[in-house]
Structure 1
């Protein structure tokens, strides 16, 4: 070998492996490296043959170090790949270090001819020796992790150079999945392993998510697995970006006077995790739009398949995760595509609510999704609203009859949490959408047929445990249209506020104020960039005229309560 300075001490295989990680190696784009004179390609072939024959091991180890540590030029890498391709049959597990040294080369930065040559080498290598597949795919996926210091893409669109590099990597992945079926499981394992932690930079998340969605373009059969991974990670972001923290930071952090006209700063969330979530959800919404649209029209087959895959993820990941604020809007968006999807989702949720074998907390959450979707979705037609109210009303009255037949009423909220949840959902929808429900005489007749008076005066006394804001707004609507007289019950309840003291399953003494919580997943969306997709589909609350002397602005005033989490109403004492 010519002009190579190498330590003359014996170099063991383990010492060669003692190097920077693959990810670090791929990310070190600009680190200055020593320039060596690369050996003639025929010398490389000779070195590999000698090592395979267990001769001159030191020369082989020096070659591995040279490939790993030197700054390769196009001619260097091209010659190396030419010779290595001709020796494919030799590149078994015994030459693993040589193979891995080539695989960690940052090949996407070379010329087009070398890139094409490199792609062919990887495909030929794994076709002959599939035991290198895991390391090879790990190096390919590592290319999806950019320099964390890079800025976010403008408007979420990758620049040409980044797009070109990404396409070259995807071409190799697609070919490998076609040639070697086992690579699919390896790929799924690798994308899970490399998914950036929520503390990583927003650009890292943006680029990685972009590339996962690109995989779905040419491998749609992986959609269920990849969507499950993506939404599991988005939920983690959502949990670590509480709505209260986001609002506090947005209100507290003032923009510098010199940055007032800086659009980027104005559109960027102050909460770092919320910013990542905002960028990620915008990319998801845009991907779903492109996927389900064809020539400006909805592609029903693709939309139906997407809904079915996301619904599985919703059931396994989103529904069991309580009090997340933004990721559930993915279902909100999907429901807006077609009324058939909205109806299917409502039916799915109602089956959860009415199934006694489902955990109470999940039934409570499911009915909250129903109420929030119908209240907030501008795309939810009146017939679905009325059908849901009728369905809930029938269930409530049936439950009341069952309790009356028992003869002994125990109104503990823990025992009847599903009943109270359905009542609160029904009161919430009537108060929120009352203007749509009283336009015609037949609509008033429909509301009268729900027999709301019996609900509010039954022995279980749902007005006692429902959120005060919901109770007051519902009572106002009920009195205005003479549907029920709630104020006597409310007054009685206010004089008989007795907390419940009990022991939990661990024996700890707990005190309950006997008030149902107010989790409504589609309360106002506060992420800035992705909000542009949700805003046209969203309904803000208008107070009943009798309940308020002022005309609240729809966008600015909705959801401002003097206490706790919000069901979307303005509470007045």
Structure 2
């Protein structure tokens, strides 16, 4: 029982930090002293930052959010890039609270906040090294994706509720962040899925979002070399006798490709002709 009681009364883990607190640092900056300011920026960019440190920083910045004008964007941008997704619920809640306070007090940061959230609409990028070459690809098998998407939409809903003009700034960001058609079908699927989710709580964007999706799907269809599709479908015809699973109706006027259980061989056609 003594051990259990000690555990219960154990204080939360302390965070290691350097320099003065945020309020004093901002005051020093006005007097021309940038040493602590630069130190805070460096600590916010630490790739090994812990949950307790993130929470501590966010709480400090929330306390002085009214002082964080446009001139302090060098602090705000690292804050927006903090690795809050995939962290503990306490980190997520604190980040959302900070985001709400920031947007309410400093609407000048609306666009950067929206860009930061939309950037998480696709699987994160990982670096795969082959020999001496770094190959950048997306992590399509991330099991945390549904939870990450939920957190992003929770944040977007909050912003849309606080700032009525959110839709005006959001749509251009959705357009510019749409993945290139050469990306994996999983990446495109995730982005389209998240676009459609936005139309639920920002209905004013429904028409624009649907037009964007249709336009991109048409571009995707055009980008798929017809010769490759025809070659793959020709191979399927040759194997149709031996593999009955691949039988399908060739009457294009009556049955669209991929109907009646037919599975197209070409990856682009197979993944997107639905």
**Any conservation in 2 of the 1:145–1:204 contact (CA below 8 Å)?**
yes
Task: Give the equivalent residue in structure 2 for 1:137.
Answer: 114
Report the 3-state secondary structure (helix = DSSP H, G, I; strand = E; otherwise coil) of the residue aligned with 1:134: helix
Unaligned runs of 5+ residues in structure 2 are 1-14, 125-136, 238-242, 244-260
Q: Structure 1 residues 251, 45: CA separation in 2 closer, same or farther (over 3 Å shift)?
A: farther
Q: Structure 1 residues 151, 125: CA separation in 2 closer, same or farther (over 3 Å shift)?
A: closer
Matches of 2:202 and 2:23, distance apart in 1:
37
TM-score (norm 2): 0.74
Task: Give the equivalent residue in structure 1 for 2:160.
Answer: 177
Task: Give the equivalent residue in structure 1 for 2:18.
Answer: 39
Report the 3-state secondary structure (helix = DSSP H, G, I; strand = E; otherwise coil) of the residue aligned with 2:18: coil
**Any conservation in 2 of the 1:199–1:273 contact (CA below 8 Å)?**
no
Matches of 2:17 and 2:153, distance apart in 1:
30
Matches of 1:201 and 1:103, distance apart in 2:
27
Q: Which of these residues, 166, 169, 175, is aligned with residue 186 of structure 1?
A: 169
Matches of 2:116 and 2:184, distance apart in 1:
20
**Any conservation in 2 of the 1:88–1:124 contact (CA below 8 Å)?**
yes
Report the 3-state secondary structure (helix = DSSP H, G, I; strand = E; otherwise coil) of the residue aligned with 2:194: helix
Matches of 1:267 and 1:76, distance apart in 2:
53
Shift of 1:270: 4.3
Report the 3-state secondary structure (helix = DSSP H, G, I; strand = E; otherwise coil) of the residue aligned with 1:107: coil
Shift of 1:143: 0.7
Task: Give the equivalent residue in structure 2 for 1:335.
Answer: none
Matches of 2:148 and 2:87, distance apart in 1:
10
**Any conservation in 1 of the 2:122–2:187 contact (CA below 8 Å)?**
yes
Task: Give the equivalent residue in structure 2 for 1:241.
Answer: 224
Q: Structure 1 residues 56, 221: CA separation in 2 closer, same or farther (over 3 Å shift)?
A: same
Task: Give the equivalent residue in structure 2 for 1:273.
Answer: 268
TM-score (norm 1): 0.37
Report the 3-state secondary structure (helix = DSSP H, G, I; strand = E; otherwise coil) of the residue aligned with 2:108: helix
Shift of 1:243: 4.8
Matches of 1:273 and 1:123, distance apart in 2:
40
Matches of 2:104 and 2:57, distance apart in 1:
19
Q: Structure 1 residues 276, 197: CA separation in 2 closer, same or farther (over 3 Å shift)?
A: farther
Q: Structure 1 residues 37, 271: CA separation in 2 closer, same or farther (over 3 Å shift)?
A: farther
Matches of 2:264 and 2:120, distance apart in 1:
27
- The structure with higher relative contact order (CA 8 Å, sep 6+) is 2
Report the count of equivalent residues.
226
Matches of 2:264 and 2:79, distance apart in 1:
41
Unaligned runs of 5+ residues in structure 1 are 1-35, 154-158, 255-259, 261-265, 279-529, 531-573
Q: Which of these residues, 63, 76, 79, is aligned with residue 102 of structure 1?
A: 79
Q: Deviations over 1:110-132 (max 9, x none)?
A: 11111011001111101111111
5 Å matches for 1:38-77? 38-39=17-18, 43-51=21-29, 53-77=30-54
Q: Which of these residues, 231, 234, 244, is aligned with residue 214 of structure 2?
A: 231
**Any conservation in 2 of the 1:152–1:203 contact (CA below 8 Å)?**
no
The structure that has the greater radius of gyration is 1
Q: Which of these residues, 72, 85, 88, is aligned with residue 111 of structure 1?
A: 88
Shift of 1:218: 1.7
Q: Structure 1 residues 84, 268: CA separation in 2 closer, same or farther (over 3 Å shift)?
A: farther
